[in-house]
Amino acid sequence: MSEESKEPEEPLGPIERAALASLPRQRQPPADLEERVVRSLAARGYLRPEWRMRPALIRAAAALAAAALLFAGGVLTGRRETAPAAAAAGGRYILLLRADRTFKTPPGGHAALVEEYRSWARATRRAGAMEAGEELAGRGWLLAGAGQEIDLAAADTAAPPPPGAGARIGGYFVIHAANAAQALQIARSCPHLRHGGWIELRPIKPT
């Protein structure tokens, strides 16, 4: 034991102990620190370069992607098609199709993707369940592959955002369903989930 250790102990009083223990354990770093570290790691080969697009290109690409989906579905923005009598007693729901870079394009590429969505949209329309876009109600669900489902109204607002919440919306479908269960069933059948995308399902407020 060192000579210094012979100094008398200085025990903390309960107030001092509590005061020290109450000091914050976390502190948000400067906003640019993460980028600096990521750039340094990428420069040293520890990270793959991240593919980025300029905001203008992102907007244009997103618009093109959305247009492709809408065209594939045969749904024109602002145009509402007549719902069949069988579904008229139910409600209208919007499917917001979210995706990020983990989205898996099928082997046939974008054309195959469009054809897949078109087929689903045609089938859904033949069933009398396809429509177009309106104001959204507050509640909804976030769906992902493997049967994952989050009730957005029940989610704790203090909790981290649900998975997929930050993914870009690339397109939408408006459907007509007798109830929320049927709307969920239809949404689950959408091929978007099979490719790693997310669907946010929201009831449309009745007018």
Partner 1 sequence: MVMTKRPPPLAPDELVAATDERADRELSTRFIEARDAAAFRELFRRHTPALYQLATRLLGGTGRGADDAVQEAWLRAAEGLAAFEWRSSLRTWLTGIAINCCREILRRRQAGTPARPGGEPAQEAPPTILGLDLERAVLGLPNGCREVLVLHDVEGLTHAEIAARLGIEPGTSKSQLSRARRALRAYFSAAERTAGSVATGDQRSRDADAESEP
Q: Which of 74, 84, 108, 166 binds partner 1 (CB under 8 A)?
A: 166
Mask for 48-67, x = binds partner 1 (CB under 8 A): x-x-xx-x--x--xx--xx-
- 174 within 8 A of 87, measured Cβ to Cβ: no
- 76 within 8 A of 166, measured Cβ to Cβ: no
Compute the least distance from the CB of residue 159 to partner 1, in Å: 10
What residues between 73 and 102 interact with partner 1 by CB under 8 A?
97, 99-102
Q: Is 147 in the site for partner 1 (CB under 8 A)?
A: no
Kind and range of the H or E run holding 15:
helix 14-21
Q: Name which of 77 and 105 has its Cβ closer to partner 1.
A: 105
Kind and range of the H or E run holding 70:
helix 55-73
Instruction: Read off φ and ψ for residue 175, nearest 5 degrees.
Output: -120, 170
Q: Is 111 in the site for partner 1 (CB under 8 A)?
A: no
Number of other CB atoms surrounding residue 99 within 10 Å: 21
Burial class (CB in 10 A: 0-12, 13-18, 19+), 1: exposed
Q: Is 71 in the site for partner 1 (CB under 8 A)?
A: no
Task: Report the interface residues with partner 1, using CB under 8 A.
Answer: 1-2, 4-10, 12, 16-17, 19-21, 23-30, 33-34, 36-38, 40-42, 44-48, 50, 52-53, 55, 58, 61-62, 65-66, 69, 97, 99-103, 105, 144, 146, 148, 160, 163-171, 197-198
